[in-house]
Chains A and B, each alone.
Chain A
């Protein structure tokens, strides 16, 4: 079964700072990769996804993520955060061609101070 690790569970930063959240997964085969975001009081929303092709993917609200196959990583980045980016961010994986079960990391609670 696949597993996902996210480090630095709590992140506090000031507006305009850059954000990078790490995500490492454990699985021997090919995977689909996702970042979901949960804003306070709102439901999980898909931020971006990687299925194949260009390992650098761009999502909504200026976020991007890079898939590095050799490192089993899918790190999320944003060059300049805003107060409205305060949220919990979850990395998730599911095997290609396998079951549709998403395996989630524990999440990163990000607080952006104005």
Chain B
């Protein structure tokens, strides 16, 4: 079974731009969660989607948003990028909101 895939793997953007990241979960997994990983703050939860609905949201500003499609693929969007948004963005999937989550390789976003 293929693992969680994320595209693109690397991105360089300029302050003020927006970015969209994509995640394809493991086949059969319907829950997708997003996390931000930085050296200072560690791993922080962004949001979770299940059956195209946002179920949980972390403590991030409204510039961070996401969605999930009927095939369980998910995208997250960050608008008006700031330097502090530079991070590794990780996607994780699980079966029917089960607690065991499997992570993708992440998208490394650099904001200049």
Contacts and interface: CB of A to CB of B under 8 A. Distances in A.
Contacts of B58: 101
Interface stretch (B12-20, B73-81, B99-107): B99-107
Contacts of A105: 42
Contacts of B97: 100
Contacts, number: 57
What DSSP secondary structure best describes chain B's contact surface? strand
Interface residues of B, number: 25
A43 B31 contact: no
A56 interface: no
Interface residues of A, number: 23
A46 interface: yes
B101 A104 contact: no
A46 B45 contact: no
A51 B48 CA distance: 21
Interface of A: 32, 34, 36, 42-46, 49, 51, 90, 92, 94, 96, 99-107
